[in-house]
Amino acid sequence: MVLCKDNQRELDRTLKSLPYSTKKIEINLKIIDGSKTKLNIRKYNNDFLNKKIDTFYYNSEEKKIRGIYPSMNYALSKVDGDWIIFMNSGDEFFNTSLLKNIEEYLLLDPKVKIFFGRAVIIGKRSWTMPSKNVSSIKNWLKFIKPNHQSMFISKSVLIDNKFNVLSPSQADHEWKRKLLRDYKYLFIPKNICKFHLGGISSKYSFKLLKLKLSEKKRTKLSKFFEICKYFLYKLNFDVELLQLLKNYLISLIT
């Protein structure tokens, strides 16, 4: 699933990174476009054909579906493959031979409903999540959840697990926490995606802070950290450096 809206350049980056299908795994690409003016998908038709990718395009704006998580729930209603991975426009798969490199894991155990690997975080600095220094993924998950761009999730568990649109700033985290708590997962020790900082999830406004503070499920400690993060952001503090240090410190204790 690829979600996009009014950002052809970022969508191009994502579509160029799509991996090749394999003899055992075929890609069924669903593009959910929230743009008022449809983005150019046709220029990749030859590439899709070469990589043996079946492509389906949906314009969510025409259906008056607005917002990231309503769009992601709409995308879930269109799933017809065995596994799903969400990519926002601008995200990249790590390389075009990704499926060939990980298919042995995806076909390993039918009881596993979630597979996830490493995300390469790219900004002024780069690092991987989880770090290669992490010795216990189970302990790591107590502190951090993987990027959804690095997660393959079975269709069988998605029917009853939609995103909570009433908790927009925490919907992604809640969704991952619930899935990883309720279903068997397996960590793949390979890089799955490249996640570029600087997008909507990297920005911080007073409106977003008020939204996070109003969420009933958020703890007092979490609200305190959000307030600190907001003021550090406004003071032009290097918030990216804090993310890097957080990742490093958690890798040392797990």
Q: Which tens digit of pLDDT belongs to each residue from 144-168? A: 899 999 999 999 998 889 988 877 6
Query: Residue 202: is its pLDDT beyond 60?
Result: no
Res 47: pLDDT:
92
Spatial distance between the Cα atoms of 145 and 13, rounded to a whole number of angstroms: 25
> What confidence tier does 172 reach under pLDDT thresholds 50, 70, 90?
confident
3-class secondary structure, 216: coil
Spatial distance between the Cα atoms of 81 and 74, rounded to a whole number of angstroms: 15
CB contact at 8 A, 150 and 117: yes
What predicted TM-score, i.e. pTM, was given to this entire model? 0.84
Spatial distance between the Cα atoms of 132 and 192, rounded to a whole number of angstroms: 14
**pLDDT one-digit tens code per residue, 35-68:** 888 888 889 999 999 999 998 998 888 888 878 8
Res 124: pLDDT:
86
CATH of domain 2-253: 3.90.550.10
CB contact at 8 A, 65 and 35: no
Among the listed residues 106, 171, 113, 108, the one whose alpha carbon sits nearest the alpha carbon of residue 145: 171
Vertex 210 angle, CA 205 and 212, to 5°: 95
Q: For the chain, which residues make up each domain, given as ranges?
A: 2-253
Percentage of the chain lying above the pLDDT 90 cut: 47
**pLDDT one-digit tens code per residue, 175-201:** 999 999 999 999 999 999 999 886 545
Task: Work out the mean pLDDT of the chain and round it to a whole number.
Answer: 87
